Amino acid sequence: MTQAFGPEARGSACSAQVIVADGAIRYPYVKRPQVMVIMSQEAFTKFSPELDPNGMILIEEELVDAKGLPPTVRVFGIPATRIAEELGRKVVLNMVMAGFFAAVSGLVSKDAMRKAVETSVPKGTEGLNLLAFEKGYEYGLGKVQAQ
């Protein structure tokens, strides 16, 4: 995983890259991502041109207008911010998106992602974060089944 959280991390486009592979990873930078999770219009504008033409993009559908992509790109949207707000804490929108990602991409099992959420959040917030994850996962399953 590589990250770019410079001064842009406060409300502007920032990025984190994760490579998933069965074998050794010899170069830690993603040149042509196959999957992107985009949560702001600025991030879409800045990073979407790098997406593989046959890739998949997951967007916060109330904040991102995913226009101008090749017709071969699969686009999945979720109102992650609204779902998080309905749970009472906007800050868990990243966990909503993590659940959505797990359901739509199929790259990580639900159980592995749940465990990652449970072990990475502050003590005492596990229940809310796992609920946010589940909401995103359920929403994602609905999107996959609809296609």
Query: How many Å apart are CA 76 and CA 7, to the nearest integer?
Result: 29
Average pLDDT, the chain: 89
Asked whether the predicted pLDDT for residue 5 surpasses 80, the reply is no
Residue 109 has pLDDT above 70, yes or no: yes
pLDDT of residue 4: 53
Average pLDDT over residues 27-53: 91
> Judging by beta carbons within 10 Å of its beta carbon (0-12, 13-18, 19+), is residue 66 exposed, middle or buried?
middle
The answer to pTM > 0.85 is yes
**For the chain, how far is it from start to end, CA to CA, in angstroms?**
30
**Could you give the percent of the chain with pLDDT greater than 90?**
75
* C-alpha to C-alpha distance for 57 and 98, rounded to whole angstroms: 13
| pLDDT one-digit tens code per residue, 67-91 | 999 999 999 999 999 999 999 999 9
Fold of 33-146: Pyruvate-ferredoxin Oxidoreductase; domain 3 (3.40.920)
Query: According to the model, what pLDDT value does residue 8 have?
Result: 47
CA angle 103, 119, 40 (to 5 degrees): 50
Q: What is the pLDDT of residues 12-34, one digit of tens each?
A: 567 777 777 788 888 878 889 99
